[in-house]
Homo-oligomer: A and B are copies of this chain.
Amino acid sequence: MTAKKLKPIILVTNDDGITSPGIRVLVEEMRLLGKVIVVAPDSPQSGKGHAITIDDPLRIEHVTMFEDVEAYQCTGTPVDCVKLAVDKIIKGKPDLCVSGVNHGSNSSINVIYSGTMSAAMEAAIEGISAIGFSFLNYSFEADMSLPRRVIREVAPQVIKHGLPENILLNVNIPNVSESHYKGIKVCRQAVAKWQEEFTERVDPRGKKYYWLTGNFVNKDLGDDTDEWALGQGYASVVPVQFDLTAHHAIPYIISNWKLYGEEG
């Protein structure tokens, strides 16, 4: 008897919520590659970053919205979904975790605020190969053919080759027609930021309140960045790490500061 090759177990999650069109695309594509389990938020969780739920209980509900796919909605954040999937649903590590397809960009500094990417990062912290997919088109009505194509180009590579230790992938898909799509670029995160401009309003009781708005400002003109690649019609693939240490700054601080205890 020869050993039968088992299908990889693939955890699918997102931050737009389990009813979003983007996660359905990802579920359909992952079904072609392995056994899929969905654990996703029961409501939109955009901008939740790496938030976890400490002071509230969490609930999980089995749902039957994806044909032949085991799926659960969860009251928590995207990171909570991954933690619950590993500890209570799969009761072990899946072979791959994919998050998305996010409706909107998670390139550049957006990776920091993104629930989509934080879910993938949580999986990577757990030692699971992980990818976040985001599409630069916010509309729930958008044509998802190009995201499907990019998912088919990237996900099988991760299943085949794995990823370097403690690394996950941030994949962004440009909002161009398939005929203008140029392929994949492996890039670095552009050094860009949001310039906040809160909108100030007055409520019916005469009290001020604020809505967060802002403009994305990119002064990083490098042709090795995700912003550059996306602007040219490439899908950007940025390898992401959760060691936030600025290693190059350690010797600088030791030699420039006089610190009690640090001999330099």
How would residues 230 to 252 of chain A score, 1 for a CB under 8 Å from any chain B CB and 0 otherwise?
00001101111111111111101
Contact of B183 with A261 in the complex, beta carbons under 8 Å: yes
Chain B residues with CB below 8 A from A161, complex form: 256-257
Interface of A is mostly: mixed
CB distance from A67 to the nearest CB of B (A): 26
Instruction: State whether the Cβ of A209 lies closer than 8 Å to any Cβ in chain B.
Output: yes
**A176 within 8 A of partner (CB):** no
Number of copies: 2
CB pair B185 A261 closer than 8 Å: yes
Nearest B residue to A256 via CB reads B161
Interface residues on A, range: 35 or more
Given known A88-B200, A212-B54, A262-B185, contact A244–B245 (CB-CB < 8 A): no
Stretch in A25-33, A55-63, A95-103, A140-148 touching the partner: A55-63
Judge if A164 is at the interface, Cβ distance under 8 Å: yes
A58 and B186: CB pair below 8 A?
no
Partner among B83, B198, B248, B261 whose Cβ is within 8 Å of the Cβ of A58: B198
Cβ of A137 within 8 Å of any chain B Cβ, yes or no, is: no
With a CB–CB cut-off of 8 A, which chain B residues contact A238? Answer: 244-245
Contacts of A210 in B (CB 8 A): 57-60, 84, 88
Contact A244 B111 (CB under 8 A): yes
Q: Which residue in chain B gives the minimum CB-CB distance to A112?
A: B50
Question: In the complex, which residues of chain B have a beta carbon less than 8 angstroms from the beta carbon of A261?
Answer: 182-185, 234-235
A212 near B52 with CB under 8 A, answer yes
Q: Which of A2-10, A34-42, A189-197 contacts B (4 or more CB under 8 A)?
A: A189-197
Report which of B48, B235, B260 forms a contact with A153, defined as CB distance below 8 A: B260
Q: What 3 A-B pairs have minimum CB-CB distances, sorted nearest first?
A: A183-B261, A49-B50, A239-B249
Interchain residue pairs with CB less than 8 A apart (25): A47-B52, A49-B50, A50-B113, A52-B212, A58-B209, A59-B208, A60-B210, A80-B212, A83-B198, A83-B212, A86-B196, A88-B200, A112-B244, A126-B193, A153-B259, A161-B256, A164-B248, A167-B246, A182-B261, A183-B259, A183-B261, A184-B259, A239-B249, A241-B249, A244-B244
